[in-house]
Structure 1
Amino acid sequence: MNVILLVIMGLLYDNAILAAGRYIGEGSILQNLNYVRFWLHALFTPLLVVFAWNTLKQANIKWTNYRWLYYGVILCTVSLIMIELITEVFGLSLEAKREYGVLSYHKVEMSSGPPIMILLVTAVLLVASIFVWVKQKWIWFFIGTVLMIVGSAAIPPIDSGAVTNLFELILITFLLLTKAYQNKRKDGLKF
C-alpha cells in the first residue's frame, strides 16, 4: 500500500517544477527538470495498479490470494511502465510553453487524448474501487476515482491548468483515506 508514497512524491515534484518554472526561467535547467517530470510520471503512476491490488487483498477478496495473480499484477505494472516509456518518454522532445502564467516544457508533438497507461491505470482503480465498495461498504475509493475521471474528461470553465492537478489531489486524498480505512479495519479500530 505504501507505493502510493512514490506516486505522491512524483506529484509533488511535478507541481514544484511547474510552480518554480517562472522563477527558473527558460533554458536547459528548466527543460531538464521537466524531463524528470515525464520520467517520474512513467515510473510511478503505474504503481497505482499495485495499490489497487493491495486494496483488494485488504478487503479479503479471495481470488487475490492466487500467486499467479500477484505475478500478473507485477507484470501488468511493469508493462504499463514500459508502454509509457516507449510511447511518451523515449525520444521525447520538449519546448517551452507559457500557459496561464506558468512556464514549463511540454511535448512538441501533442498526442490526442490521454495516454494509454493513464486509461488502463484508471480502469484498474475503478474496478478495484467497486470491489472495495461492495465488500467493505467503503464508497470513497469509488467516488475519488469517478471524480478523477469526470474532472479529467470535462473541459474546465477556469483559465488554469491547475484543475487537472486538483483532481489528481482529490484522487490521492481518497486513496489515502482508503488506505487509512483499511488499516484501521485490519487493526480492529473504527474509522
Structure 2
Amino acid sequence: MQVIFLAYALGHLGLFVASVVRLLGSRTLSSIPLILVTAGLVYDNVMIALGSAVGAGEQLQNLSVPRYFMHAGSTPLLVLSALGLVRRSGAGWSRGSVISAIAAVVVVALIAFGFWSDMLNLELELSTDDGLVTYSNVNSVPVAPIAVIVLIVAAGVVIWRHGGGPWLLLGALAQVAATVTGDMLAFAGNLGELALLAGFVATDWRIRQPARP
C-alpha cells in the first residue's frame, strides 16, 4: 500500500512541474493554485506512505499537521483556478466584476471554514488501516471540499461546452466517485485527487489563450 501512495506523490510531482512550466511559459495566473495544491499533495502522499516507517507518536503527529494546513488553505483556491480556465475558454459572462467578487467571497469563506474545521478544531487520531500509519482529524467537517468539487464540476461543464475539452469535468467526476468509495478503498480518495489535478493541468495546457485569468 505504501508503494501506491509513493506513486501518487510522484504523479503529483509531475503535475507540479507541468504547472510551473505552464506558468513560466504563458504567465497564466490560474496555474498558481495548481502549483500550490500539487506541491501540498506531494507532501501529503509522502507522509501517508512513510507513516509506518516514522511510527506512531508525537513526531508523526507533528509531521501530519501541515497536511491539514494545506487542505484548509490551498484547496479552495482551486475555485479561482477553475474560474480562470472558464474565462480562458471564452465564457464572456465570467469576466464581470460581480463574478470576481462572488468568487473571492466564496474562496475566503471556504478557507475560513476550513481553518476552523481542520486547524482550530484539529484533533488527530491514530489510524492503522491497511498497513498504513496515519493521523486523521476526527473533527473534520467536509463542507469546503464538497463546495469546491461542486463548483469545479460546474466549471468543467462550461469549459467542455466552450470547446476546452472534457478533462476538468472528468477529473472532478472521478474525485466524486473516489469520495463515494473512499470508505471501502483506502487509496481511492487520493487517487481521486490525482485525477482531479490531472484534469486541471490538462485543461490548463489545452486552453492556450492566456487572456486575463
TM-score w.r.t. length of structure 2: 0.79
1:39 aligns with 2:64: no
Runs of 4+ residues deviating >4 angstroms: none
Among residues 172, 179, 184, which one is paired with 2:197 in the alignment?
Answer: 172
Equivalent residues in 2 for 1:12-31 (5 A)?
A: 12-31=42-61
Deviations 1:155-182 (A, max 9, x none): 676xx51121111111111111000001
**SS at structure 1 position matched to 2:126:** strand
| CA displacement at 1:95 relative to structure 2 | 2.2
**SS at structure 2 position matched to 1:34:** helix
Distance 1:107 1:118 in 2: 14
1:124 aligns with 2:151: yes
State the identity %. 26
Q: Pick closer, same or farther for the CA change 1:143–1:28 going to 2, 3 Å.
A: same
1:5 aligns with 2:32: no
Deviations 1:75-106 (A, max 9, x none): 21111000111123212111222111111111
Distance 2:117 2:172 in 1: 24
Distance 1:165 1:108 in 2: 18
**SS at structure 2 position matched to 1:147:** helix
Q: Pick closer, same or farther for the CA change 1:26–1:155 going to 2, 3 Å.
A: closer
Equivalent residues in 2 for 1:38-187 (5 A)?
A: 38-109=68-139, 115-136=142-163, 138-154=165-181, 160-183=185-208, 186=209
TM-score w.r.t. length of structure 1: 0.87
Specify which structure has the bigger relative contact order, considering alpha-carbon pairs within 8 angstroms and separated by 6 or more residues: 2
| CA displacement at 1:148 relative to structure 2 | 1.4
**SS at structure 1 position matched to 2:135:** strand
Give 5+ residue unaligned stretches, structure 1.
Answer: none
Distance 2:127 2:168 in 1: 35
Equivalenced residues, count: 180
Q: Larger helix proportion, structure 1 or 2?
A: 2
Q: What RMSD over aligned residues (CA atoms) do the two structures have, in Å?
A: 1.8
Give 5+ residue unaligned stretches, structure 2.
Answer: 1-29
